[in-house]
Amino acid sequence: MAGKKILIILLVVLAFASFLFKDQIFNLYYSFHSNLAEFQKFDFYPLLEKIKQDISISSPLFLPNSSKGSSLASQRIIEETNKQRALFGLPPVSENAQLDEAALAKAEDMFKKQYFDHVSPSGLDPGTLVLNHGYDYILTGENLILGNFSSEAELVQNWMDSPGHRANILNERYSEIGVSAVSGTYQGEKVWISVQEFGLPLSFCPIPSLSLKQMIEYNQDKLDQIALLVDQLYSKARQGSGVEEYNQLVSQYNNLSRETEQLVRAYNSQAEEFNRCLAR
């Protein structure tokens, strides 16, 4: 009789311990998943798309009655641009081949379609233009000018005399530039069109690791699967069947949740650094 009482007490203690153990693991499960839900709210790809819309433009400078001048060279325009930046204590912008291609395509398209605007008749804006030429950016800007000029210095000075264009030339965040200078006929007049494409490349800021994000998502799915199995085995474990398997699953879940929590912290740290870089 005493043995039966001891057995009953042991079973009650075991059931109570199992109940507490299950509550603890599922509290951990829900606590961890609340953290993951917060993590899922941050997706840096839409953020980058928003950044790509950060475009600086000003009304194009249209000077059709300017005096006939000499031929213009894009390299000299870059040099004159950097001279102006140096006067204000700014670092030079470096020539970028992709931005050069975008600037040339823009000038040629304006002559071909006889328009003079930042947005083409087909709706192509400066941001999409540079993206189409392989330039991923955080910030971009475009300056346009049409007319005839005695020198590259005069051309750049015309931009400097216009507040919006001046702001692009003296923007301290730009690190790269592409320039074109093309001669052609616009509305019956022989003129030059020059285009400046400024940029701060996306590579300037360290992007959060995509592979790390994918590993977190993979682990989250795995945790969901394990939690489902734990729930299914719980009733059996309470009755004394499958206790070892149940405990192994709980241990597996705990280990994976701790590992994933570390990954989430690492990813969030990268994301915070990325956002700080964007705000500079």
Between the CA of residue 64 and those of 61, 110, 135, 149, 162, what are the distances in Å?
9, 15, 31, 11, 16
Q: What is the pTM of this model?
A: 0.65
Of the candidates 182, 259, 266, 269, the one whose C-alpha atom is nearest the C-alpha of residue 223 is: 259
Longest dimension (CA), the chain: 118
Q: What does the DSSP 8-state code read for residue 193? A: E
- The long-range contacts involving 233-237, CB below 8 angstroms and separated by at least 24 positions, are 234/22, 237/18, 237/22
User: Which residue, among 133, 274, 276, has the nearest Cα to 203 in the 3D structure?
Assistant: 274
Strand boundaries in the chain, DSSP class E: 55-57, 61-63, 94-95, 137-147, 176-186, 189-201
Tens-binned pLDDT, residue by residue, of the chain (280 aa)? 444 443 333 333 333 333 334 444 444 444 433 332 222 222 323 223 333 345 555 656 566 655 566 789 999 999 999 999 999 999 999 999 999 999 999 999 999 999 999 999 999 999 999 999 999 998 999 999 999 999 999 999 999 999 999 999 999 999 999 999 999 999 999 999 999 999 999 889 888 888 988 998 898 888 888 888 888 887 776 767 777 787 788 888 888 888 888 888 888 888 888 888 877 7
